[in-house]
Structure 1
Amino acid sequence: MITLFLDNWQTYLTGFGNTILASIIALVFSLIIGSAFAIMELLPSRLLRVIAHIYIEVFRNIPLLVVAMFFYIVVPQYVVKLDGFTAGTIGLTLYTSSFIAETVRAGILAVDPGQMEGARANGLTYWQAMRYIVLPQAYKIVIPPLGNQFINLIKNSSVLAFLAGFDLMYQAQTVASATFKTFSAYFIVGFFYLVLTLPLSYYMRYLEKKLA
């Protein structure tokens, strides 16, 4: 197994780098998009609430692979050509954002309504109050489920392997096909995923305790 890694370390590190890059991009944008739709679900405008609800329900109830394949196969035919990495990252972002939206919405609802009322009474606009008063408290409340979503996002990034996204799983398939050492090739990939997810898991626990 060690020999296999040493013979193919550049391949694995390329996949490791692409997995990290896709995960970071998807994490940042899914948090932004998810938070935006969470707020939309709570706005007085019925139209915006319906749009947010449709978005969340659609992406929550369609398998990630189907979403990613849509951007990899359908979108290039009618809109713009996308490579596997880009299509997979977009699919991963939209899919994860729907779950984050529900998580953040629950956090906002858990914040005392008096916080918003007090902020508005002191001259803040709705958006200022949401940004500076409500959302920071909401994020603090939902740190555990958000951490779980981020860890799931990293693991779900393996969907890029089906789109020639050159991530860890794709590179493992390449090594396994070339060497016929399937178990060892995927065992090494599992170790790399642990390197990514375990520190994040422990950090989220530390952050939860620190902010408690």
Structure 2
Amino acid sequence: MAHGEAPAGDKDFPYWLVAAGALAIAIAVLIASNDLYSQVLTIVSRGLWITIFVTIVAFALATLLGLGLALMALSGSVALRQISRFYVEIIRGVPVLVLLFYIAFVGAPAFVVAWNAVTTPLREAGLVGELLVRDVSLLWRAIIALTIGYSAFIAEVFRAGIQSVDPGQVEAAKALGLGRWHRFRLVILPQAIRTILPPLGNDFVAMVKDSSLVSVLGVADLTQMGKVYASGSFRFFETYSIVAYLYLLLTVGLSIALRALERRLRRSTGQPDDRRGGWRSKPH
């Protein structure tokens, strides 16, 4: 071992996680033993499920839309490639908060007007039942905005991951007679996912944090519940300390889970283990 080089065990041991865990436990004990912090936690945590719901639904929709955009960008059609590039470049250039306001106060009302204009004649003619859309809830306006905003970034993640697959693998699949869908499902995607997963996980963690932007629309998520309680009680330090604590529990816990999944994929495929800088071969 070279002079000044840390032992392998020191490299592997997550000291930062121990420190973070100790801090989390200390804060949990403080909350449990302090009536004020307990009260703040009880009220603020009512918005936890809204935060989780917004994050999961928006990310799932953004992933599906991003995958579709990536496939368009890699298609043989010039029109599809240009449409995908136009969408990605335009959406990536707009801040998420601005996009949130635009979808909520411009896009959604315009959609309601257009939908009613199309369905009203059908309804009056008796061809269809009640199809009038009277409004789109602020919750779903926020979800749609996050979906559109993140789909552009996720599209680039999928595109780069798919392009990282060795072209020889695709040619071999063609030689075996596999169709386009089967080549993508059986050959390209399983190999691309190892490249896609880390940045996709980072986007997931980022969406947990950016979901707090929905509070500007009055959606009762963690941030909004904290804002309402702090403005009424003037307990800003205690309230936002609890809000930050809950967000950290979500983001750090999710990051640890994603890293564990990434290491598992590396071990299963014999890729280098970043923690040791060596190879972890697949067991026979």
TM-score with structure 1 setting the length:
0.94
| 1:144 pairs with one of 181, 198, 223 | 198
* 1:41 aligned partner: 73
Q: Percent identity?
A: 37
Q: Which runs of 4+ in 1 moved over 6 A?
A: none
TM-superposed CA distance for 1:8, in Å, is 4.3
Describe the SS at the equivalent of 2:168.
helix
Residue 265 of structure 2 corresponds to residue 186 of structure 1: no
Q: 128-137 or 92-101: which moved more?
A: 128-137
Describe the SS at the equivalent of 1:165.
coil
Consecutive unaligned residues in structure 2, runs of 5 or more:
1-30, 113-134, 267-284
| 1:59 pairs with one of 61, 84, 91 | 91
Seen in structure 2, the aligned counterparts of structure 1 residues 201 and 62 have a Cα distance that, compared at 3 Å, is same
TM-superposed CA distance for 1:58, in Å, is 1.4
| 2:154 pairs with one of 100, 121, 145 | 100
> What is the rounded CA distance, in whole Å, between the counterparts of 2:36 and 2:215 in structure 1?
20
* 1:111 aligned partner: 165
Q: What does the per-residue CA deviation read over 1:92-132, in whole Å, with 9 as the maximum and x for residues that have no partner?
A: 11111111111111111110112222222222221221122
Does structure 1 retain, via aligned residues, the 8 Å contact 2:108–2:141? no
Decide which structure has greater helix share: 1
The aligned length equals 212
Seen in structure 2, the aligned counterparts of structure 1 residues 53 and 33 have a Cα distance that, compared at 3 Å, is same
Describe the SS at the equivalent of 1:44.
coil
Q: What does the per-residue CA deviation read over 1:139-189, in whole Å, with 9 as the maximum and x for residues that have no partner?
A: 111222111111001100011000111111111110111100112111111
> What is the rounded CA distance, in whole Å, between the counterparts of 2:215 and 2:202 in structure 1?
22
* 2:14 aligned partner: none
* 1:87 aligned partner: 141
Residue 188 of structure 2 corresponds to residue 156 of structure 1: no
TM-score with structure 2 setting the length:
0.71
- 1:20-35 matches, within 5 Å, as 20-35=52-67
Q: 66-75 or 76-85: which moved more?
A: 76-85
> What is the rounded CA distance, in whole Å, between the counterparts of 1:105 and 1:76 in structure 2?
29
Does structure 2 retain, via aligned residues, the 8 Å contact 1:119–1:133? yes
AA of the residue aligned to 2:72: M
- 1:1-16 matches, within 5 Å, as 2-16=34-48
Residue 50 of structure 2 corresponds to residue 18 of structure 1: yes
Does structure 2 retain, via aligned residues, the 8 Å contact 1:72–1:83? no
Does structure 2 retain, via aligned residues, the 8 Å contact 1:103–1:146? yes
Residue 206 of structure 2 corresponds to residue 174 of structure 1: no
* 2:219 aligned partner: 165
